[in-house]
């Protein structure tokens, strides 16, 4: 596998942590900062995965995914929409959860188009089996 492939992620752990942040975001400022960094890390990891799926999604799901990805970009900008740590933490948790939901249930996807490299690998594998 090439370096462009991301390691698998633990969806249950991400979901659990997002729910903790969304349902009980309180805590000391240090805890909030740590949780914010964690949620932003999930957004950084999941957004590119979703972006790769968008071209294969049905039109309605593509629109939803694009909105979520736009919010991901805004959330991670240096000048984020909110400077309030509690609001930023909530926004990051909502966004990470939305990304995860779309990755888990992207709707019907079109098949991955055949590329010359994939065709070559398939032909080479078939030839080696004979």
**8 A C-beta contact, residue 102 and residue 65:** yes
Residue with tokens 């690998």: 121
User: Residue 4's pLDDT band (boundaries 50, 70, 90)?
Assistant: very low
**8 A C-beta contact, residue 107 and residue 53:** no
pLDDT of residue 2: 37
Q: pTM, whole model, 2 decimals?
A: 0.78
Comparing 61 with 26, the larger pLDDT belongs to: 61
pLDDT single digits (tens) 72-83: 999 998 776 677
- Residue 34, number of CB atoms within 10 A of its CB: 13
**8 A C-beta contact, residue 94 and residue 22:** yes
Section 80-88 average pLDDT: 77
Reduced to 3 states (helix: H, G, I; strand: E, B; else coil), residue 109 is: strand
């Amino acid at each position: 596998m090439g370096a462009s492939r991301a390691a698998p992620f633990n969806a249950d752990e991400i979901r659990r942590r997002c729910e903790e942040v969304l349902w009980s975001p309180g805590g000391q400022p240090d805890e909030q900062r740590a949780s914010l960094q964690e949620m932003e890390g999930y957004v950084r990891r999941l957004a590119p995965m979703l972006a790769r799926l968008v071209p294969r999604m049905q039109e309605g799901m593509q629109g939803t995914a694009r909105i979520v990805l736009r919010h991901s970009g805004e959330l991670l900008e240096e000048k984020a929409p909110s400077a309030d740590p509690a609001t930023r933490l909530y926004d990051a948790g909502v966004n990470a959860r939305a990304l995860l939901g779309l990755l888990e249930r992207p709707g019907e996807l079109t098949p991955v188009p055949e590329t010359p490299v994939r065709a070559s690998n398939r032909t080479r594998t078939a030839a080696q089996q004979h």
